[in-house]
Amino acid sequence: MSQKDKLIERLLTRPKDFTYNEAKTLLGHFGYNEALGGKTGGSKISFTKDKDYIKMHKPHPIKILKTYQVNNLINNLRGRGLL
């Protein structure tokens, strides 16, 4: 089983400890790149692929995504036919 498959399987269980780095890695497997904001970008992050983008809030100081963020990520990926 590939890393991508393991991350998808883990994401779909809606774990309480899914990290931002895991989400970033998974989105990278789908061809999305992290687009860093400017000086005032703060913790709002976009992942872009061509003209498509997925917006997220980068959690801090702990890098674990909240439940609503995990659900949003699943919905975004399902809506794009990636899951």
In tens digits, the chain (83 residues) has pLDDT values of 899 999 999 999 999 999 999 999 999 999 999 887 656 566 788 899 998 989 888 888 889 999 999 999 999 999 999 99
Q: Please report, for residues 22, 69, 70, the alpha-carbon distance to residue 49 in angstroms, rounded to integers and kept in the order given.
A: 18, 20, 20
Quote the CA–CA distance of 1 and 66 in Å, as a whole number.
26
Sign of CA dihedral 70, 61, 30, 6: negative
pLDDT at 62: 86
Q: Residue 12 in contact with residue 83, Cβ under 8 Å?
A: yes
Give the per-residue pLDDT at 76: 94
